[in-house]
Amino acid sequence: MEDLLEIKDLKKYFFLKKGLFSFNKETIKAVDNISFSIKKGEILGLVGESGSGKSTIAKLIVRLIYPQEGKIFFKKEEIGKFSREKLSKNVQMIFQDPFASLNPKLSIGTIIGEVVRVRNKISGEICSKGEVREEIKRILATVGLPINILSDYPHQFSGGQRQRIGIARALAMRPRLIIADEPVSSLDISIQAQIINLLLDLKEEFNLSFLFIAHDLNLVKYLSQRMLVMYKGKIVEEGLSEEIYRNPQNLYTQQLIESIPKIKYWL
Ligand SMILES: Nc1ncnc2c1ncn2[C@@H]1O[C@H](COP(=O)(O)OP(=O)(O)OP(=O)(O)O)[C@@H](O)[C@H]1O
Ligand SMILES: [Mg+2]
C-alpha cells in the first residue's frame, strides 16, 4: 500500500527554565528522532504512557507546533510548504476533550458551517446559504446526530454527542487523513464503543486513513492492524498489533499490556 503520510527524523524538544536562572534549562525530548508512515486506508495505532510524546506528534502533523528537525510528507509533498488551508483540507484532528475543542459561544450550525464555507472557498465551489445548511444537515446525519440542532450550542449535548459534533466538524472538510488523539478517553465505556464504531463506518464510507492515538493497547489492537509504541519520545516497538499484543518485545509494551483491565467491554 502507498504511503499517505510519511514522517522522517522528526524532533521536537521543549526547553524549560529551571529556577531563577535562565541558563539552567531542562530539555524535554518530547519527540526524539521519529520516523514512520501511514498507509492509504490504514488506521495506524499509536500507544504509549502519559507524556511519551503522542500528542506532540499529532500537533506537529497538523502544524499547531513546529519541529526543530525532520520532515513530514503528505502524498510525497512536504507539508512545511503547504498553506494552512491546504493542510487543513487534507488532514483534520479529533481531540480528546470535545467540550474544550468546541467554541461554547458558537452554535453547531456556525461551527460546522464555517468549515463548509472554508472548504467551498478552497475548492472554488459557490454555494448558497440554503445549500450550506443542507450540507451541514447531511454531515450531522452522517455522524448520527439529529439534523435540527443547527441553532443549539455545545453545552446542550452529552459527551458522546459532543464528540460526534467534533467528528462532524472534521468530516466537513472532507479530509483524507484524521488524527484522532484519544478521541474516546473522556467518554463512558458504552459510548466509547458507539464512537469507535462510527469512526470505523466513516473510514469505509469516505475512504479515510487514521492515526489513532490511545493509552489503551486493547482498543488499538481492535482498531489497527499495525501499531507503534512510544516511550519517552522514541518509538520502542512497531509492527502488527496482534503480534505485539501476543508477544511484546519491549518492557514498556509489556507494562502497557499488563495495565489493560481484564474485563474487555469492547468485544
Ligand atoms: N508546550 C510544551 N511545553 C513544554 N513541554 C511540553 C509541551 N508540550 C508537551 N510537553 C512535554 O512533552 C512531553 C510529551 O507530551 P505529550 O503531550 O506529547 O505526551 P502524550 O503522550 O500525549 O501524553 P498523554 O497520554 O498524557 O496525553 C511531556 O513531558 C510534556 O510535559
Ligand atoms: Mg496526549
Task: Please state the domain extents for the chain.
Answer: 3-258
**φ, ψ (nearest 5 deg) of residue 84:** -50, -45
**C-beta separation of 209 from 38 below 8 A:** yes
Q: In whole angstroms, give the CA distance from residue 229 to residue 22.
A: 34
Which mutation among 10, 12, 14 tests ligand 1's pocket best, with the greatest number of atoms within 8 A of CB? 14
Q: Which residue's C-alpha comes closest to atom 17 of ligand 1? A: 55
pLDDT of residue 267: 47
pTM over 0.75: yes
Alpha carbon 43 to its chain's center: 11
- Ligand 1 pocket: which of 15, 32, 34, 55 to mutate (most atoms <8 Å of CB)? 55
pLDDT for residue 265: 53
**From the CA of 234, which ligand is nearest?**
1
Is 233 close to ligand 1, i.e. is its CB under 6 Å away?
Answer: no
What's the pLDDT score for residue 90? 97
Distance 126 CA to ligand 2 centre (A): 38
* Nearest CA residue ID for atom 5, ligand 1: 14
What's the confidence (pLDDT) of residue 140?
97
Is 149:108 a contact under the CB 8 Å cutoff? Answer: yes
Residue 122, number of CB atoms within 10 A of its CB: 14
pLDDT in tens, 18-39: 777 667 788 999 999 999 999 9
Q: Residue ranges of the chain with pLDDT lower than 70? A: 21-22, 261-267
Q: Report the atom number in ligand 1 closest to the C-alpha of 56.
A: 18
**Which residue has a Cα nearest atom 30 of ligand 1?**
51
What distance in angstroms lies between residue 51's CA and the mean position of ligand 1's atoms?
A: 5
Q: How many CB atoms lie within 10 A of CB 14?
A: 14
The pLDDT of residue 87: 96
Testing ligand 1's pocket by substitution, the residue of 54, 235, 252 carrying the most ligand atoms inside 8 A of its CB is: 54
- What pLDDT is attached to residue 21? 67
The ligand 1 atom nearest the CA atom of 58: 18
pLDDT in the model for residue 181 = 96
Give me ligand 2 centre to Cα 25, in Å.
23
Ligand nearest to the CA of 59: 1
C-alpha cell at 238: 512497531
Give me the count of residues in the chain: 267
Phi, psi (degrees; rounded to nearest 5) at 154: -50, -40
Instruction: Give the span between the Cα atoms of 116 and 136, in whole angstroms.
Output: 8
What's the rounded Cα separation, in Å, for the pair 211 and 39?
A: 10
Residue 263 CB contacts under 8 Å (≥ 6 apart), including other chains: none
- The correct answer on CATH 3.40.50.300 for the domain covering 3-258 is yes
